[in-house]
Amino acid sequence: MSATLPAACAHTVEILPRLLHAIRPPLALAFSYQTEDVAALHLLKQLGVDGVEIFTLNTGKLFPAIAGYHYEVEKFFGVKITPYHPDGAEEKELADLGEFGMRASLDNRHRCCEVRKVRPLARALSGKNAWLTGLRAAQAVTRQNLGVLEYDEKNHLIKINPLIAWSDADLAAYREKFSLPENPLYARGFKSIGCEPCTRPVRDGEDIRAGRWWWENPEHKECGLHLKKINN
């Protein structure tokens, strides 16, 4: 599998089985409809890794196009992607935000992400021994100090970021080599996929995540899902 891959991808193919060998199932893979997540899922399938729940956080604010892509990915890989939703009662506490109130202040945005993402994530990770993500350091300034192996202090779990050292070109080469299904939003100018009210297409020359929470400073652009490293 690794013969004609870019060096960073081949390295991941080599080390991921060893990393996972040391961790007992059940594990979870976070799937947020990015090319990175599709690559991470493909790696797991190619390596024959079992005991991994593939989950997504259905915030209730996703783009309509996501539903069709969700189905396409399930079909392509022959897997089930389990959606975790916000708690209905907690969601009502966000009623004052209306449709776009999360843009009015950092506090509002964090309240919304807490209810729609952070708490559902905690439910998705409950009972798991570790989780995997498609995070890459090249995606954003907030991710440049992340390592392949971290400790998620909030959820008290090992977190594995197999693609952390992949460049944009590495990811594109991997997707192309295996003809992986691509989120249709990329063809509309999006370079990072998030909730509809908080994500816009990216212009030429802009950072990959420039379209996420575009009204905020770059160092604030995380939703509370990704915390601190313990090892490279």
Query: Least distance from C-beta 72 to ligand SF4, angstroms?
Result: 22
Bridge partners of residue 84, in order along the sequence = 57
**Binding window for ligand SF4 (CB under 6 A); candidates: 16-24, 107-115, 127-135, 161-169:** 107-115
CA 72 to chain centre: 17
Binding of ligand SF4 at residue 162 (CB under 6 A)? no
CB 141 within 8 A of CB 210: no
Report which secondary-structure segment, H or E, holds 88: helix 88-92
198 in catalytic set: no
Binding of ligand SF4 at residue 112 (CB under 6 A)? yes
Judged by beta carbon, residue 125 or residue 198, the one nearer ligand SF4 is 198
Report which secondary-structure segment, H or E, holds 149: strand 149-152
Query: Least distance from C-beta 89 to ligand SF4, angstroms?
Result: 16
**Binding window for ligand SF4 (CB under 6 A); candidates: 9-17, 30-38, 190-198, 201-209:** 190-198
- Measured at CB, which residue is nearest to ligand SF4? 195
Residue 121, classified by CB atoms within 10 Å of its CB into exposed (0-12), middle (13-18) or buried (19+), is: buried
**Binding window for ligand SF4 (CB under 6 A); candidates: 6-14, 69-77, 110-118, 154-162:** 110-118
Binding of ligand SF4 at residue 117 (CB under 6 A)? yes
Candidates 9, 73, 113, 163; binder of ligand SF4 (CB under 6 A) is: 113
Phi, psi of 84 (to 5 degrees): -115, 130
Integer distance in angstroms from the first to the last C-alpha of the chain? Answer: 24
Amino acid (1-letter code) at residue 6: P
Size of the site for ligand SF4 (CB under 6 A): 13
Query: Least distance from C-beta 232 to ligand SF4, angstroms?
Result: 29
CB 183 within 8 A of CB 193: yes
Amino acid (1-letter code) at residue 19: L
Binding of ligand SF4 at residue 198 (CB under 6 A)? yes
**Closest listed residue to residue 36, CA positions, set 204, 226, 168:** 168
Query: Least distance from C-beta 31 to ligand SF4, angstroms?
Result: 16
CA 109 to chain centre: 18
Binding of ligand SF4 at residue 61 (CB under 6 A)? yes
Judged by beta carbon, residue 108 or residue 129, the one nearer ligand SF4 is 108
Indicate the pairing of strand 81-84 with strand 52-57: parallel
Residues within the interface to ligand SF4 (CB under 6 A): 59, 61, 102, 109, 112-113, 116-117, 194-195, 197-198, 223
Residues known to be catalytic: 223
